[in-house]
Structure 1
Amino acid sequence: MELGLAGRRALVTGAGKGIGRSTVQALHAAGARVVAVSRTQADLDSLVRETQCPGIEPVCVDLGNWEATEKVLSSVGPVDFLVNNAGMALLQPFLEVTKEAFDTSFDVNLRAVMQVSQIIARGLIARGAAGAIVNVSSQASQRAVTNHSVYCSTKGALDMLTKVMALELGPHKIRVNAVNPTVVMTPMGQANWSDPHKAKAMLDRIPLGRFAEVENVVDTILFLLSDRSNMTTGATVPVDGGFLAT
């Protein structure tokens, strides 16, 4: 299926690992030029070496730093598509949640999404160009998970931010959607869910009986960026094997 991404320019945050890295590679394979944003230079260096293409532009910045983000991303040039993938999960029991974990999580998982989206949307509006934004959320935005009080809260807020962005940016021809995966078998996912007892408790709640692979999420992101979804905005799209249906 032709997605119409060739020749367009995309920016992907959290591009160094996991879903973000695979999204960069998939966009590049689809003919897009990609600005790959990560706070870890070594990850960007290995991504560029692995992909071996000048169409990937690495940008190293900590999105938790408002001033640095504004300075660096305001100069990246025209962008048609944005994937807000950068995020973190600092897991603590509710009664032990620290201010540092709360502030850091909201800075990266929510505030950075708003800031980066503002930068890209302003550029699109100034050019009079249509665009698409995909926010990487989670099934945890809609279901409580033990020790995930801060993470669940950030993703619940991200889903509502997605809807408000869609409402306000729609008249400017900018679509905004979220993708809400279950556990994804990235290296981090494999490490966190390798305990069979822990994994069984989650898998028992998934009708398809398996966790998501990275390509399941990436395929959905590319569809939401493409013109194939040009009547879809303000949606939160589960990639969860039916978890949210139960």
Structure 2
Amino acid sequence: MKARGKGGSIVNLSSVAGMIGIKDHLVYGATKAALDNMTKVWALELGPHNIRVNSVNPTVTLTEMGEVGWSDPAVRDPWLAQHPLRRFCQPHDVAHTVLYLLSDKSDMITGAILPIDGGLTCV
């Protein structure tokens, strides 16, 4: 993008685990927090080249793997109860947000760490 001189948009895929502490997720959360910080640094460094850098931070996303991993009500229900919207993400929830951040409609947004979490990080 720098070589082309036309700018652009980068969207990193992170997690709410980078924004809040989640028991038994130390390494996962630490790596996502690092990616969030990298997003901010890259936004500062690449902004002068008209390159925007943002991060999306979804909660549990019900991909095929997510459906299996969160199918046990004893695991799912207490975590889901912490989400004000009382639901997890569907893949399209993440895709729509990424598409927005890649589009020119978000041309003034850079360095954002955007939770897609049904309100989880509000509590």
Q: Structure 1 runs of 4+ off > 6 angstroms?
A: none
Q: 1:39-90: per-residue Cα shift (whole Å, max 9, x none)?
A: xxxxxxxxxxxxxxxxxxxxxxxxxxxxxxxxxxxxxxxxxxxxxxxxxxxx
SS at match of 2:97: helix
Deviation of 1:238 after TM superposition, in Å, equals: 0.9
Mapping for residues 1-246 of structure 1, pairs under 5 Å: 124-246=1-123
1:98 alignment counterpart: none
Q: 1:104-135: per-residue Cα shift (whole Å, max 9, x none)?
A: xxxxxxxxxxxxxxxxxxxx111112110000
Deviation of 1:145 after TM superposition, in Å, equals: 1.4
What is the one-letter code of the residue matched to 1:195? Answer: D
How many residue pairs get aligned? The number is 123
Structure-1 separation of matches of 2:117 and 2:5: 36
Structure-1 separation of matches of 2:24 and 2:71: 17
- RMSD across aligned positions (CA): 0.7
Computing the radius of gyration from Cα coordinates, the structure with the larger value is 1
List runs of 5+ in structure 2 lacking aligned partners. none
Deviation of 1:197 after TM superposition, in Å, equals: 1.0
Larger relative contact order (Cα-Cα within 8 Å, sequence gap ≥ 6): 2
Deviation of 1:146 after TM superposition, in Å, equals: 2.0
What is the one-letter code of the residue matched to 1:207? Answer: P
